[in-house]
Amino acid sequence: MKFSKLSLGISSILMGVVFTSSAVESTTDTNSDSIEQITIFGSTAAVSKLPGSGAYISKEMLDTYATTDIQRILSSTAGVYFVEEDGYGLRPNIGMRGSSSDRSEKITIMEDGVLAAPAPYASPAAYYFPTVGRMQAVEILKGGSSIEYGPRTSGGVINLVSTAVPQDALGGKFDLALGSDGFSKLHTFVGGRNETSGGLVEIYNYQADGFKNLNSGQDTGFNKTDLLTKFDIYLDDDKRHQLEFKLKYSDESSDETYVGLTQQDFNENPYQRYSATQLDDMSTEHKHASVHYDYIISENMDLSVIAYINDFGRNWYKVSKINGSSLGSGAEEIASNFDATVSMGGAPDDITVTLKANNRDYLSRGIQGQFALYLNNHQINIGARVHNDEMDRFQWVDQYALAADFSMSVLSAGVPGTNSNRIDSANAYSFFVKDKMTFGDFIVTAGVRYENVNLARDDWGKTDPLRSADPSERNNEVSAFLPSVGTTYQANDNWVLLAGVQKAFAPPSPGNNKADNEEGWNYEFGGRFSYDSVNGELIGFVTKLDNLHGNCTASQGCNIDLIGQQYNAGKVDISGVEFVINHRAEFDSFAVPTRFNYTYSSAEFGETFESELGLWGSVEAGFDIPYLPKVTWQLESGIAGDNWQVLAAIKYVDEMRVVAGNNNIDENNGIDARTVVDISANYQIDDQQSLYAVVDNLFDKEYAVTRQHGGLQVGKPRSLQVGYRYQF
């Protein structure tokens, strides 16, 4: 039996949930000899025996969505939630099973099995996220099966699978789309394979003018481009040794801001932006290189090793103060009054706008490997990773005057390195051992993961931009053993029962004064069922943390003088239920596929404490954790013919409180519940060509998504995308 490419994916331990172009159903994917292809079990029956919950979103479903927003894709799965921000998913906030969604910092994000966050140990807040539009699959894993993927095991894992090298001598894709608010997308790749090698070149660009309006007339959109190439070669005639090289470059410019609207202005026009934010811009550059070696030792042994490096630079030049008031402390009101006075024909005094250059460089690099052995009824996996990453903050502030004609002029230019000037770094090594054992109708998966992390902070303060003196230093070392065990039982032809327990862990950041780990236990239990054309799963989960981390980040609206600090919140209890059901009704000339997923989540603080984090504040035991909707659900259904389909998705997100508490949620402390409908249509012209159309927010629902940044931010309004796809 050949073991294929374990270190590059998590598919082989996932429940397969695939939406095809003409159906919504549970199935499995097919294997490929390409080194970067991720494989899963070859049958639904085998997948159903897995001792944890997960989902596999296929290329067909990604083509159906035709979206560039990972958050819209993830809404098709249970147990995953998110806080929208810019409307396009450029910097998603994703949480799983009660973990914080802020900048997806509490989950493990990978591309082709490699950690994708810019500095996943030293600074996990992911201001970079791989472009989902160029992916061929998305894998989601929760529960005890995620022992192979650290460092964070209290939430879950997302692995994004990049485009595979075509298996034919020549193959490729051309995908062009146009849409609302100046949206355009171009995705193309070409490649091929012969007996000894294969290669691929890929380009992905998407952009929009934005759906928010500035009185000063500037765009509020973005432009992002990815360039990727792969090359692989067999090193022997038996094709047992294979080497792959992967290179990627991307850049982005987005006119995004953290300045939200006052409640009154949001009620009048939620799509406006204050003139003070006209210069806000995020500029990024991301470079990746990796080398993957795969060795099929024998029919029952496989070795896979990856060396990688990620280099990410970004400067989010954005408003931090207006007339000396920080966001959330009067800045929005000042900006609002200025724009209102001008719009009514008045001539207000100039106001002073402080823009901070949040300039940071990130570097992560490492080597990881896995060895797999099949031995009778055992599948043994052994893996290790050596990793280093760092974040270099080198920031400054500039002062501008905003005049009555909406023009902005420089009052003073800051000196780089005089606002924040420090390096946070981490050196980590980890290993795991996992054994999947089969005993008749029982499958038991047990293992242990070990993490050791050395954290450091070198801080030159605000008066030494040349870094000529010795910095103040902070050093910590933490480690953890993380056991896990899960089991499934094939009760009968229709039911598979499962249960599992896993030690939860997240390392502290260099800004954590006490350097305490986030630790606890994850439990899950439930079952999967299948009756003719109906299948699904019902899983309950409980997480008990001994010490929850809270990170002070600009994205949470934290005090700007505390950004980078991490705080310990003590005990937290998280629990919930996930439910998924699929059905496909077949008729003479069409089918009606239906899928429904539902998640209930509850997360409460277990201790009373005082917090410097704005979204926590003064916390009492029993307070609900903010920005966690108790209920989310999505219903997808439609009509599918032989070469066409129309599918609709009705998505519900419950109300959320924006600060910790247990009082009633209202417009002062929360975000209202919302129901949004999306629709997609596809027409297959022939085997190679297709047309598609996608409408997000069909009924043009106006809804707020967050108050974290000092004011209300709005969700994307109704938008249309029409595209043409040619594949060969």
Residue 321 burial class via C-beta count within 10 angstroms: exposed 0-12, middle 13-18, buried 19 and up? buried
Decide if 322 contacts 279 (C-beta within 8 A): no
The residue extents of the domains of the chain are 6-727
User: Would the CA dihedral through 377, 26, 598, 556 be positive or negative?
Assistant: positive
> How far, rounded to the nearest angstrom, does the alpha carbon of residue 277 sit from its chain's CA centroid?
26
Look at residue 710 in the predicted model and tell me its pLDDT. Answer: 73
Model pLDDT, residue 558 = 65
pLDDT of the residue at 627: 92
Cα distance between residue 359 and residue 250, in whole Å: 17
Give the pLDDT of residue 102.
Answer: 83
Residue 103 is predicted with a pLDDT of 84
pLDDT at residue number 345: 86
Q: Which CATH architecture has domain 6-727?
A: Beta Barrel (2.40)
Q: What are the start-end ranges of the E strands in 194-330?
A: 197-208, 213-214, 222-234, 241-254, 272-273, 281-298, 301-322, 325-326
Report helix, strand or coil for 198: strand
In angstroms, the CA 132 to CA 204 distance is: 10
- The sign of the torsion formed by the CA atoms of 437, 442, 445, 446 equals negative
* Residue 562 buriedness (CB in 10 A; 0-12 / 13-18 / 19+): middle
Asked whether the whole model's pTM tops 0.85, one would answer: yes
Beta-carbon contacts of residue 534 (< 8 Å; ≥ 6 apart): 581, 582, 583
According to the model, what pLDDT value does residue 556 have? 62
**Do 48 and 56 form a contact (C-beta atoms < 8 A)?**
no
pLDDT of residue 143: 67
Q: What is the Cα–Cα distance from 85 to 222, expressed in whole angstroms?
A: 14
The secondary structure of 53-73 as a DSSP string is EEEEE-HHHHHHH--S-HHHH
**By C-alpha distance, which of 191, 161, 134, 174 is closest to 40?**
161
HSE-CB at 303 with a 13 A cutoff on CA atoms is 8
Q: Tokens for 49?
A: 């025996």
Predicted local confidence at residue 99, as pLDDT:
81
Counting DSSP H helices and E strands in the chain, the numbers are 5, 43
| Of residues 152, 125, 122, the one with CA closest to residue 390 | 122
Distances (CA, A) of 496 to 246, 419, 682: 39, 57, 35
Q: Which of 16, 27, 14 is nearest to 533 (CA)?
A: 27
Instruction: Name residue, tokens 């990410």.
Output: 312
**Residue 655, exposed/middle/buried by CB under 10 A (0-12, 13-18, 19+)?**
middle
The helix/strand/coil state of 552 is coil
Mean pLDDT of successive 10-residue stretches along the chain, which has 728 residues: 35 32 34 40 46 83 91 92 92 88 88 94 89 93 77 88 95 98 98 96 98 92 98 94 97 96 96 97 98 95 96 96 90 94 86 96 96 94 97 97 94 96 96 94 93 96 96 93 93 91 90 80 93 93 89 64 73 95 94 97 93 82 94 97 96 95 89 97 97 98 89 96 97
| Gap between the Cα atoms of 156 and 14, Å rounded | 12
Give the alpha-carbon dihedral of 92, 449, 121, 79, to 10 degrees: 10
Q: Which residue has the tokens 């219903």?
A: 635
The answer to whether 698 and 193 are in contact (CB under 8 A) is no
